[in-house]
Structure 1
Amino acid sequence: MAGKTAIVTGSGRGIGRAIAIELAQRGAQVAVNFFRRRESAEETAAVITAAGGRAIVVKANVGQLDGLQTLVQETVKAFGGVDIFIANAASGVLRPAVEQDERTWDWTMNINARSLLFGARAVAPFMQAQGWGRIIGITSIGSTRVLPEYAMVGISKAAIEAAVRYLAVELAPTGIVCNAISPGVVETEALDFFPSRDQILAEGLRRTPAGRFVQPEEVARLVAFLCSDDARMIMGQVITIDGGYALLA
């Protein structure tokens, strides 16, 4: 990936951080994005630069169109273009579907799903100009299965998967490859927001045939593979990496 430029949204911590570091280790220049926790994003960038890579830190709310525009503009200003766009940022209000309201709908859908679609729109011209690009969304099993307290996030993840399919078909003729990755239970700080965190971890471990949780670095390596030319004929797919979690009835 030498000479490539990647944007990884929500890359201050967790899976996003692992993806940013992995792509940088393979030679990519990386825009590390955050909205609320600059210190975490700076730590991600510091790891990259300490290893000899190049990174910038960009504060932007990717749920807003002007935030996406800022992120892309700052990346292009620093590195000259965008080759890889990883829509990793995620948020949501964890409560039953019938307890959601218009505000929580807009917040969750905008950050999780709209950021992918309109992020793709913003970066596509740079990718099309050179006939090469990779767009990847991070989804979850909650897009197709019902999980406690996960209604709004699950709906947004289903939207990500649908958007990836449409983008894949529309952008393939221009050399842009679009896919999604669905990790299983990954023990990151994101789980701390779940009221039933301990139950999720215990049940997740019990249900995973591999006997352990997926690590953020394993998700990152899958992202790197999908960004490679070896994966250029994988298009519009949702690739599951969960240690077999979703296989059990």
Structure 2
Amino acid sequence: MDFEYSDEQRLFSETLRKFLNTGYGFDARAKIITSSAGFSEDVWAAMAEMGILGVPFDAEHGGFGGNTVDMMVVMEALGEALVVEPYLATVGLGGRFIARGGTVAQQKQILPSVIAGKTKMAFAQTEPGARYELARVSARATPSGDGWVLEGDKRAVLHGGCADLLVVSARTAGAEGDAHGISVFLVERGAPGVTVSEYRGLDNLRLADVRLSGVRVARAGLLGAEGGGWSLIE
């Protein structure tokens, strides 16, 4: 793959850096970090208006259909400015789960809202004692009627406190540590049984611990195939 920026990518990079240099200086960032939300809704709205939130998504959903290098342009600029807005959690993780594993209906419902800056997302994966082993999933999804009931705890969910929609891994089969049997579900942060405890990480990004207690998820909330979540997670 050619990682050299095209003229269009260089122009996009310059535009994004100009925006960040103008309105995301040290003092502005310090105020954002110490705010109650931990990020700026105004900056997020501006990023949506500039099309940054739609870079990796198909044009049919309102995105730009960008490739890996296009995402490199964005992430490089955001990293240089130490941006604390939930771009990685929403676009790089949550939105990409929908784009890769979502049904047509899920994509049509969620991706345009993500691209417009109206829906923020987070990936609730890490669990107590997992130590970054992705298959160490003990949260359970038990069949109930036309759906499942989720039970379990997730730790250090990046931007979990501001997410409207959580992408949650839970086990529908197998034992903890097995790659097979992990399923992925879409759970609204405000759903009954979801408890979110937010805190600030060492890098000033907001994290959250998420407890799932009797959380009901309809069949339409399954992302990808039941038990086939590992292919989306790894």
Question: Normalized against structure 1, the TM-score is what?
Answer: 0.29
Higher strand residue share: 2
Higher relative contact order by CA 8 Å / sep ≥ 6: 1 or 2?
A: 1
Larger Rg: 2
Higher helix residue share: 1
